[in-house]
Structure formats: C-alpha cells, structure tokens
Structure 1
Amino acid sequence: MVVYTLEQRWEILREAPSAPYVRYLVKKVKETGILIDKPKREKPKTVRKPENIAAVAESVRETPSTSIYRRSQQLNVSETSLRRILHKDLGMTPYKVQLVQELKPTDHPIRFRFAKWACDRLTEDADFAKKIIFSDEAHFDLGGYVNKQNCRIWGTENPHAYIEKPTHS
C-alpha cells in the first residue's frame, strides 16, 4: 500500500476532494489527533540474523543433502525461514539427484562390442537404423527405492550428483 503525504494527495487530486475522502480525513483527525501518517516501523529480522545464517551455511557445508524438514529441526528454525536463508542470504539452489544405471567393469567391453557391431551393420546397410525396434522396459527394484523427488542437494552450483543402481537386482 502506497502512503502519500497530504501535499502529495492534493497534488494527485488537483480538484476538490470527494466527500468520502473528507470523511476519512475527519475520522483520522478525531482518532489520532494528527493528519499526517505516522512513520511505519519495520519489523526487525528475528530469524535471519548473521549467527543463524552462519549456522545454516555450516550445516549445508557438512551435509548438503539433508532435507529442509530435518535441517529446520536440527537448527530450530522454521522451514520457511530456512528456505529464505538458503535462497536469499546464501544464494543456494536445490539440485535433484540423478539415478543412473550401475556399470560393472565387465559391462564396458560388452557395450563396446555392441557399438562396433551396430556401426558395422550401418556401413553394410544404410537402412539398418530403421529396422531396429527400441522399447521402454519396466524394472522392479528389489534393492531399495530412492525417491529422487525428495532428495535434493543444496549448493551455489550444480554438483552433478548421481546414484548408481543396478538395473537387474
């Protein structure tokens, strides 16, 4: 809400004030005794103090993957204030962990052999790529479930973190 002084209000109006505005001014003088608006006090920052910001920075440095919920409990700071400190004061962003297929040392020669075979087929038959059928496969994980929606790593730049999981456990 924009607050104007009396002179600014008159300059904006440039004509006789409306009846509701006059009633507002009379009511204001009766209630407060003055016509000028009192300066508004800004609320002091109660949570985003330097010591709290330093504590959050240290906590993120030690364990960047701790959830907002858990970190807010550990530091006794609300989740909203913690997010504000992380974003506004520390300039951090939450990055999502990527799930990738776990590769064993024996997988590399097999992948190389397949790639060489596919290149040989493409040189023999130009339409070979059109004859391959790819499909999406569903795998049911027996080795534990990683919910990457809830797994975030806080940092000023992307750490490119990933978790290797076996495809067929």
Structure 2
Amino acid sequence: MYNDVTETIPGSLGQHYALERNTIIATYQEFMETGSINDKLRSGRPRSGRSEENVESVREAFVQGKSILQAAVELNISVTSIQLILQRDLKLYPYKIQVVQKLEPQDYDCREEMCETLLHHYE
C-alpha cells in the first residue's frame, strides 16, 4: 500500500512533495475504520460569543443601522465577538468610502499632455 501511494504522489503533486509513511498509514486506517478522512468531532468549550442567537441579534442590529459599539452595548456582546460575527458568519467587511475627483471632459486633454511630457522626459 505505502509503495503504491509513494509512486503515484510525485507525479501528481510534484517532485519535492514528501509524505511520511506514518501519515499515509494513519490516513488509510482512518478511512477503513470510518469510511471518511474528515476530522472527528472534538470536545471543548462551546462557542458562546458566536452562537446562532447572537448572530441573529447582530444581524437585526445592523439592519436597523446600529454601529458596532451601539450593538455591543445593547446586546451585551464584546466588540471583538461582533466583529467576528460580521466577518465570519454574515460575510460583512469594513468599507470606507473614498472621495475622489470627478474627471471633466477638459481633464482628458490635460492628462494626455502630461503623459506625453513625462514620456519625453524619461526617454
């Protein structure tokens, strides 16, 4: 089994990719026992800040137009947890509007002239 796998991997993953023998054997045994190589569920501290209830509360707060600080105080959730909920659960990211100048029709001629001047300068 190990030799079969190590012969096919360099062709598919590249010459410098090395798998340890123990990794291949452990993965194979895991697959044979469970029918999958997905990670097992782990015990541990449950998520409290990003619970489904908090995600819904934060969603409602932002639909109403509240800021992160306002939502944190009102919902009694930390600012960090609200930021994580917005980014990881609701897929919302900070956005800062940038004010730029509007180009007028006469600006195009000036820009073209400046580009030509710079081109001649650096030739």
Which protein has the bigger strand share?
1
TM-score (ref. length: structure 2): 0.45
TM-score (ref. length: structure 1): 0.35
Which protein has the bigger helix share?
2
Which is greater in Rg?
A: 1
